[in-house]
Amino acid sequence: MSNRVGVLGVLITLSILWGSSFLAIKEVITSMPPLFAFGIRFAVSGAALLIVFYFHEPKSTRHESIDRRHWRDGTIAAIFIILGGQGLLVWGAQYLSSGMTALLNSTIPLWIALLAALALKQKLTRNTIFGLVAGFAGLIILVNPFSTNSTLNPVGVISLTLSSIFWAIGSIYSSRSSSNLHISILASAGILMLVGGVLLLGTSFIVNESKTKQFTISDLPSTIIAFSYLIFLCTVVGYAEFFWLLKVESPAIANSFAYIVPIVAVILGWLIFKERITTQTIIASCIIIVGVAMMVRNKGAKHISSMAKKQK
């Protein structure tokens, strides 16, 4: 019971952090090249977590805690979660509205469920299926993408769809990785983000991103605040919480925050930009919350790595 309360608490805080991050992301990518900005974000965050781990871990076991397996698994996970997932997200966010970005990003649990069922032969329980359907339906009602006559940019749609798929693959891989079971969350998250940040910086350099997106920092204080919020709260704290969820729950439940993130964005829009909250928003929010609750309360949900061990 206490573990369920802890899972719900972390999901709520993670949803608030990553929901509010959309505001900070918009502020940052209007002033900096997106891949370069996210490369700095994750490289600094990963280095910070590894420094904390270094001083937190007992000196006698500090150097024995991380070996080649951890760097190998962390690099593979970083390719999918950071380079593919976050890189394509920030790239696609340039071409889509925040609402459509949130909707496409929220399909992560659906992709995880489908990939787990196809690749790992994991059986979907009735509650999980109903939860996924309810959450996705609620998000469609919330964002209502079919009410606008504007044409969606295909680059943004493809980028966000691939971003969700890459994130789902990385989540499943990370949850099944045996090396993550014997390493601190600080170390595993730190390796993931440091390697991912370096990969993003390298990609930014390869595609010569600075030619297409110049640095245009017109309001330096707000950019620094937004960037600091992204690095130290949304990334350092957020990813540490996410890795903990991957260790104690199934990937579908660990990623169910994606259903709540758009709600946070709507509320922040109302508070900061004075956007009005309609009856449609309230109804959609209730459906989404019910969907997430059905998934989290599903007692039959098992950690995917445990299932893999039993099948061996």
- Residue 219: CB atoms within 10 Å: 12
pTM higher than the cut 0.85: no
The C-alpha angle 292, 298, 303, rounded to 5 degrees, equals 100
Confidence of residue 58 (pLDDT cuts 50, 70, 90): low
Give the pLDDT mean for 191-212: 91
pLDDT at 195: 95
Q: Inter-axis angle of helices 154-176 and 108-119, to 10 degrees?
A: 50
**Taking 60 as the threshold, does the pLDDT of residue 111 lie above it?**
yes
CB of 285 closer than 8 Å to CB of 279: no
Q: What is the pLDDT of residues 86-99, one digit of tens each?
A: 999 999 988 877 76
Query: d(Cα 109, Cα 13) in Å, to the nearest integer?
Result: 18
In 3D space, the residue among 252, 267, 261, 217 whose CA is nearest the CA of residue 102 turns out to be 261
Q: What is the pLDDT of residues 130-189, one digit of tens each?
A: 887 887 787 777 666 666 545 567 888 889 989 999 998 998 888 777 655 557 778 888
**Taking 70 as the threshold, does the pLDDT of residue 273 lie above it?**
no
Q: Which residues contact 253 (CB under 8 A, 6 or more apart)?
A: 7, 245, 295, 296, 298, 301
- Residue 178: CB atoms within 10 Å: 11
**Taking 90 as the threshold, does the pLDDT of residue 63 lie above it?**
no
